[in-house]
Structure 1
């Protein structure tokens, strides 16, 4: 089974090239039309008066190499199949298409297929009378004793430095010399926790399963080639430290650096920013002058990994890297500076009020909170049928806190506006989740309405309206609103009518059992069969509270 969005594996690379050309913001690319088997992308604005730069290789490393074509970087890119070197004929046609009297430089990653095919094409072009030179990028330092280090993400840095030299009108020999200086100044190493999948490949045969869960492989190649060692960790700090230690062994002691933080294709932006933070707090931080990325510049399809490429700066290389280009895949350098911090004054909206006593209000608070505490298990069981089974615990947590505050005479019982404000403040703190915030909105808004002269029922209805506005639920959405709103409307119609309010709440809660669809909360993800015959637990909580208030009111009157 393929892990890729694609139409036809046979036309995949042609489709990818078309998409890249059409989406470049500079409108400066064209596909070379010579043969359907030859995939070459060239600059539309090229006049052959300067040294041409050609790179390429197997596809699957996007945005390399098409993404680096444009003023100040490459003149053309030759695209092979996925992880396969382009043919000699494709490279030769690219040379002929873009090379003038100034000649061309081939920038090749150090892999056998690329070396041979680009090398043979260069020799054939020379026989046709073209000036051609070739440099090989070998920036991978994972294997210290390897006589032929691989070319990986540092290739993009070489494109940039050589592209600047060519844009300045330098001769071919000078451009090649500067490109080689950039190669010699660049060191890269990569790591991955999972290899890459090939388009249309069989998952059961993929090498990507080689890395054990919980481990990463250091020095993994950009085609999934095995690395040099494994680390039994996914900790970003430890992994970056290991990469930095290897890089430091290959860098001059006092060198100033630009570091490319390269996404190999399958790492989220969140993780790449974490990796960037680790780098700028690593042992390498004092040497880093510029950052490039984090971004994918030379990827490996969907490989879950990243690489670090450090280039030692001199005046020429720094100037070249900082120059502007018209290439969609390049990311401008960012000067590394101390983390900017802007001081601000902490704002606290904690309600500060003076405690007061009111026996009647105290009894109401006690009744409501004790009822909700006693319902914890019942509501949790009910919620387990239609939600995540925590409604009872959520309401009980808020109720227990307020019950304790009430018993300790810490509430402004004789000041309704302040009381609602305190209740709203406490519920946002102790209930947690969306329920705590919604109930906090309800009581906070109600308290504000009381301070403006509203009566109890009107103020609570105003709080409900605000809760509905921010929460998005309304009558009929199978929530506590279906019981709470009719109960409050009954009290608004006749002050102190606990019997009417309790009756309305009971009917509202009962009606939720026949509602086929919940439009808010976790229940909204369930089908009608799962909800059938089950009351909404929040509505049941409201029903039980008003029943308890009715009973208390009846006892008080006797």
Structure 2
């Protein structure tokens, strides 16, 4: 089954063009109305006073070529079906409708269908009296011995250079010369982790997991070699080395970092980092991207294009345009850091002794470490099986501090604050942060003069505020909340232990969890199983109350 966002395959390109015209920020594009099977996007503001620029080809390379139609770049884009060259009639229709006395330049990627169809249209236009020239982009260096190099992402650079020359009022011969100069100075190389998904077809899975293909074509054509890696540094090093061979004099370059459609923004940022730190990056005076300029549908890959700069080419690349697809060329920035003040991991506490407090801390920690296996087994039924290990990690850390006599045992407010900071680090994940919030907030209340029970209750309220869970949501709160409420009411630890036990037992009857990993499970998975966090609270209070 084809996994492609569309209604009808036959309408895909036409509907996409309608969307592109509606979404252009400059409101400067129109469809040429010359027949139902001809899809030509033209500048609405075109007056034929300058050299017209026409490009195009198969659809599926968006934003090329429609995204480059506008002031300062293309006059028209002729759109074929997915990866299929537009017809001679479509190209000829574009020529005769946008070309004035200054003539027209066709910019074609070096593929057989495009060469033939655009070439024949040019000859027919000449017979009709139009002044037409054609240039072919051949920037792909994947196959160095190929007499017909393919045109790929570097095509966008040629559009920009030629567009600037035409907008500057130069003659057709001068515009063609500027385009050819840029073509000769441009080299591109791409790499993909997977081919593209063509509407109606199954994806080609020839690239195995963990591998990549160097030089894969923008229609999914096989590349020159398969690499046994997807490591960013290894890949960029190889591509940079090959591109550097086309700049033996280490001239300043413009670098286009192009997304072939399937790379995430995160991966493209890594790509920019790797390229600019490579030897290739040392010569980059202008950067375009990272961005999608010439895609291959959803191909998971990228291409790098370099253009050897002259002052004139640099000026052309930086000139403003009114198109939706072009990305401004700019000087690469040097990453900067600003000296900041590091937040202290913990306050400075002086260790102190208190035998009663030490016994409480030791009792809690030993209980949790001894429960590790039991809690993990319980959590395996309703979660990811690590609750026991998480609690044991926090308890072990505090126990180590206790045995090393590093805890402020005689200062309850400082002790709770320190415990909160240690748990955030030792426990990891959301559990550690939640427990840290509770103890940190409780420590603040103690410091403000509150009683311990009220301070702990306040800490629990803060935990609920930030964590989102409430009583009845099948979490440790179902045991903590009633236990703390009993303590606030002035009752003893035995009553609190009983309340915690009853709260934990209720979780076994709750058919739906509304927080944590258990929230993804169905009722059958939860029935009769206590929440592991609530059970841990139950056992801690039982130990503190001296119950078996």
Bin of the TM-score, shorter chain as denominator length:
over 0.9
Deviation, structure 1 residue 256: 0.5
Q: Counterpart of 2:19?
A: 19
SS in structure 2 at match of 1:190: strand
* 1:536 and 2:531 are equivalent in the alignment: yes
The Cα shift of 1:443 comes to 0.4
Aligned residue in 1 for 2:489 = 493
CA-to-aligned-CA distance 1:328-352 (integer Å, 9 cap, x gap): 1111112123222222232214122
Q: For 2:356, what is the secondary structure of its paired residue?
A: helix
- 1-structure distance, mates of 2:247, 2:173: 26
Which residue in the other structure is 1:3 paired with? 3
Matched, 1:433 2:429: yes
The yes-or-no answer on 1:393 pairing with 2:384 is no
Q: 1 CA distance for matches of 2:243 and 2:544?
A: 72
> Per the alignment, in what secondary structure is the counterpart of residue 336 of structure 1?
coil
* 1: CA distance, partners of 2:213 / 2:293: 20
In the alignment, what sits opposite 1:508? 503
Q: Does 1:472 align with 2:468?
A: yes
Partner of 1:72: 72
CA distance in 1, matches of 2:353, 2:238: 64
Structure 2 distance, partners of 1:349, 1:452, is 22
Identify which range, 298-307 or 214-223, moves more after superposition. 214-223
Q: State the partner residue of 1:130.
A: 130
Q: Which residue of 1 aligns with 2:343?
A: 347
- Give 1:384's aligned residue: 380
Q: Which residue of 2 aligns with 1:154?
A: 154
Matched, 1:403 2:402: no
Q: Which residue of 2 aligns with 1:546?
A: 541
Give unmatched runs, 5+ long, in structure 1: none
- Match of residue 523 from structure 1: 518
Q: Write the distance in 2 (CA, Å) between the matches of 1:410 and 1:286.
A: 52
**Cα offset, 1:214, TM superposition:** 2.4
Please report how far the alpha carbon of residue 172 of structure 1 lies from its aligned counterpart in structure 2 after TM superposition: 1.0
Supply the distance in 2 between the matched residues of 1:215 and 1:543 (Cα, whole angstroms).
51
Partner of 1:54: 54
Q: In the aligned structure 2, how far is the partner of 1:368 from the partner of 1:438?
A: 17
**Counterpart for residue 315 of structure 1:** 311
Gaps of at least 5 residues in structure 2 are none
Q: Is residue 2:93 matched to residue 1:98? A: no
2:448 aligned with 1:452: yes
Q: Which string of whole-angstrom CA distances, capped at 9 and with x for unpartnered residues, describes residues 23-69 of structure 1?
A: 11111111111111001001111111111100000011011000100
Deviation digits for residues 447-500 of structure 1, max 9, x if unmatched? 0000001001100001001111111111111001011011001010015x1121
For the residue of structure 1 that corresponds to 2:105, the secondary structure is: strand
How many residue pairs were aligned? 548
Q: Is the 8 A contact 2:318 2:330 kept in 1?
A: no
Deviates further, 334-343 or 57-66: 334-343
State which of 381, 406, 409 in structure 2 corresponds to 1:413.
409
Tell whether 2:296 aligns with 1:294: no
Query: What is the DSSP-based 3-state SS (H/G/I as helix, E as strand, rest coil) of the residue aligned with 2:187?
Result: strand
Greater Cα offset, 73-82 or 136-145: 136-145
Q: Deviations over 1:384-413 (max 9, x none)?
A: 110001111111111122122223322111
* Secondary structure, counterpart of 1:509 in structure 2: helix
Query: Counterpart of 1:254?
Result: 250
Does the CA contact (< 8 Å) of 1:141 and 1:250 recur in 2? no
Whole-angstrom distance in 2 between the partners of 1:381 and 1:210: 42
Match runs of 1:253-292 below 5 Å: 253-292=249-288
State the shift of 1:252 in Å.
Answer: 4.2
Q: Which residue of 2 aligns with 1:231?
A: 227
Q: Distance in 1 between the 2:183 and 2:91 partners?
A: 22
State the TM-score, normalized to the length of structure 2.
0.98
